[in-house]
Amino acid sequence: MSQSAVSEQGTRVSLDLDWLKENIRCQHRCPAHMDIPGYIRLISQGKYLESYKLMLETNPFPTVCGYVCPRPCESKCKRGDFDKPVSIDNLKRFVTDYIYKNRIKIPAPKIEKRDEKVAIIGAGPAGLTAANDLAGMGYQVTVFEKESRVGGMMMWAIPSYRLPRDQIMFDVSNIEARGVEIKLNTCIKAPDKTISSESPDNAISGLLEEGYKAVFLAVGAQRGRKLEVPGEEGTEGVMDCLDFLKNVSAGDLKSPGKTVAVIAILTN
Ligand SMILES: Cc1cc2nc3c(=O)[nH]c(=O)nc-3n(C[C@H](O)[C@H](O)[C@H](O)COP(=O)(O)OP(=O)(O)OC[C@H]3O[C@@H](n4cnc5c(N)ncnc54)[C@H](O)[C@@H]3O)c2cc1C
């Protein structure tokens, strides 16, 4: 099986996933198929900037991943067959912190522009990654975001002590440098319906009529899971986790009370 990754210049590089699975298990396991041996080799040679550039070729959010990636690569690291896996994510974090602290900006690659426009709905990691890759291929990309800030759950659900907001915006600045336009406070919806409802046609056809050749829906999953027990809606003091986290991220640090029960649903 093969899968493409987008290189810095926007040309597509074919990856042989079956070969990777046998030979470079960490890269196969990485959802972004980052060139892990490549960027670690560059770090070992002290070439931090080159290492960072290599990371950016397959993942526009290396800084964010340095903080919150669940590091599936490490459980497949071959070094773990002998003693302990290499601390891949910490190495990535070391480089991205170095780049961020020194405010090193990578000039956007020279890309031949195409005429076609693409609309992306949602400025979370999925929408912004698609925007980055499509802009890298020369398309004119506009991202429509309903909130006042980009980032989706990275910005609103993961607390800032785990993922500093400036670091998210540092990654986003590389995407914007490719000419991606981001329209905030712009909810794309059919009349009286959100786009995630069963009838998104009106909103989509409106964008197509405006001249967008393709529309990518990257709206995520915006509703918390319900327990479906009496009293969970409309009872004072009962809060949905996403609402709570979003309020905290927006600066509303009101204490919910002295005694708090947290109900977590475990899934397989
Ligand atoms: C509490 C919590 C902690 C997490 N911790 C981690 C972690 O440590 N590590 C990790 O890897 N992952 C973590 N995740 C998961 C990660 O955040 C998600 O997998 C990721 O954000 C999904 O990206 P997405 O772009 O698909 O959706 P989202 O991040 O939800 O982005 C969707 C975007 O679309 C916008 N949107 C929706 N509807 C419209 C519309 N009609 N018009 C315009 N814009 C719209 C939304 O406002 C949002 O900005 C966590 C998630 C949560 C909730």
- Would you kindly state where each structural domain of the chain is located, as residue ranges? 2-101, 117-217
pLDDT digits 0-9 by tens, 246-268? 999 998 877 778 899 998 888 76
Structure tokens at 121: 């709905």
- From the CB of residue 163, how many other CB atoms can be counted at a distance below 10 Å? 18
Of the ranges 148-152, 192-196, 263-267, which one carries the lowest mean pLDDT score? 192-196
Ligand 1 centre and the CA of 64: distance in Å? Answer: 13
Topology of 2-101 in CATH?
Fumarate Reductase Iron-sulfur Protein; Chain B, domain 2 (1.10.1060)
Q: Can you read off the two tokens belonging to residue 190?
A: 């059919």
Work out which ligand 1 atom sits closest to the CA atom of 152. Answer: 49
Which of 153, 244, 245, 249 to mutate to test ligand 1, by most ligand atoms within 8 A of the CB atom?
153
Strand partners for 217:
121
Distance 218 CA to ligand 1 centre (A): 9
The predicted-structure confidence for 154-176, as pLDDT tens digits, reads as follows 999 999 999 999 999 999 999 99
CATH topology of domain 117-217: FAD/NAD(P)-binding domain (3.50.50)
CB contact at 8 A, 127 and 218: yes
- Which residues are near ligand 1 (CB < 6 Å)? 68-70, 121-127, 144-147, 152-154, 157-158, 187-189, 194-195, 218-220, 222, 245
Decide: pTM greater than 0.95.
no
